[in-house]
């Protein structure tokens, strides 16, 4: 079995298994939800760009009304409907 096999199995059994590798999971606060008033858009996006699961997160965030997902703000998702950088 290759070292990648457990990840593929995880993805099939749990579509959000990628969240285990989310950089933001290690950081307290609401940086990724600027609509809650903490307003850390630039900082959050910069961190997202270092995240190993940014693409999975961006896909998962499509259609989400709130929060920064994969470096994309809610406003940018609404405005463009595309996967563009915030």
Q: Are 70 and 58 in contact (CB under 8 A)?
A: yes
SS3 of residue 46 by DSSP:
helix
Select the span of 3-11, 21-29, 34-42, 73-81 touching ligand SF4 (CB under 6 A): 21-29
Taking the complex as a whole, how short is the minimal distance between the CB of residue 54 and ligand SF4, in angstroms? Answer: 4
Task: Retrieve residue 51's tokens.
Answer: 């995240």
Residue 51 as a binder of ligand SF4 (CB under 6 A): the answer is: yes
Residue 76 as a binder of ligand SF4 (CB under 6 A): the answer is: no
Name the residue among 40, 45, 41, 43 with its Cα closest to residue 58.
Answer: 45
Question: Where does this chain bind ligand SF4 (CB under 6 A)?
Answer: 22-24, 32, 47-48, 51, 53-54, 57, 68-71
């Amino acid at each position: 079995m290759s070292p990648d096999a457990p990840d593929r199995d995880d993805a099939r059994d749990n579509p959000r298994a990628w969240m285990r590798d989310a950089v933001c999971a290690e950081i307290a606060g609401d940086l990724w939800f600027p609509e809650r008033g903490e307003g850390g858009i630039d900082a959050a996006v910069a961190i997202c760009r270092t995240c190993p699961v940014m693409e999975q997160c961006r896909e998962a965030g499509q259609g989400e009304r709130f929060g920064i997902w994969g470096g994309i703000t809610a406003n940018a998702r609404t405005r463009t409907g595309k996967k563009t950088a915030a």
